[in-house]
């Protein structure tokens, strides 16, 4: 019985630890298989959505990275790391991904949702 408990505990620990991918395409240590990204679409050009996302991240925290070619942003907000990626679905329709992780690698879908709403309000 103790062996079965130890094995199941070991499997649970392995399942809870691992790596996840950021919107920049990098792998980071953290809790995989947890929802950490909000996706939205807007009838706006990519440049306009990217500018709204950049302003929102700078307003809420510290912008730590910007890639204007890949249209990705990184920021630090309340001990959380935020990544945003903007791409074009079709002309004048953009898609945005807002991903947030806590310092320990856990997901923070609530902050991702809040930032997504703020970006949408900046586009109005």
**pLDDT bucket at 25, cuts 50 / 70 / 90:** low
pLDDT at residue 86 is higher than 80: yes
Q: Given this model, what pLDDT does residue 5 score? A: 79
Architecture of domain 2-122: 2-Layer Sandwich (3.30)
Q: Given this model, what pLDDT does residue 1 score? A: 73
Q: Given this model, what pLDDT does residue 2 score? A: 75
Report if pTM > 0.75.
yes
Q: Where would I find the H helices in 1-124? A: 2-16, 46-60, 109-122
**Residues with Cβ within 8 Å of residue 33, at least 6 apart in sequence:** none
CB 80 within 8 A of CB 100: yes
Burial class (CB in 10 A: 0-12, 13-18, 19+), 50: buried
And the tokens for 87? Answer: 């791409």
CB 53 within 8 A of CB 120: no
Q: Say how far apart CA 54 and CA 92 lie, in whole Å.
A: 19
**pLDDT bucket at 6, cuts 50 / 70 / 90:** confident
**pLDDT bucket at 108, cuts 50 / 70 / 90:** very high
Q: 120 by DSSP, 3-state: which?
A: helix
Of 40, 28, 39, the residue nearest 102 (C-alpha)? 28
Mean residue pLDDT across the chain: 86
pLDDT tens for each residue of 33-77: 678 899 999 999 999 999 999 999 999 999 999 999 999 999 999
């Amino acid at each position: 019985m103790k062996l079965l408990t130890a094995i199941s505990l070991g499997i649970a620990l392995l399942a809870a630890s691992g790596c996840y991918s950021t919107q920049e395409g990098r792998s980071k240590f953290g809790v995989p298989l947890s929802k950490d990204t909000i996706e939205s679409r807007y009838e706006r050009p990519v440049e306009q959505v990217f500018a709204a996302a950049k302003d929102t991240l700078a307003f809420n925290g510290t912008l730590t990275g910007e890639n204007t070619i890949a249209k990705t942003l990184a920021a630090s907000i309340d001990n959380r790391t935020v990544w945003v990626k903007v791409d074009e679905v079709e002309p004048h329709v953009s898609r945005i991904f807002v991903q947030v992780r806590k310092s320990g690698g856990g997901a923070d879908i609530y902050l991702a949702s809040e930032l997504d709403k703020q970006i949408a309000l900046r586009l109005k």
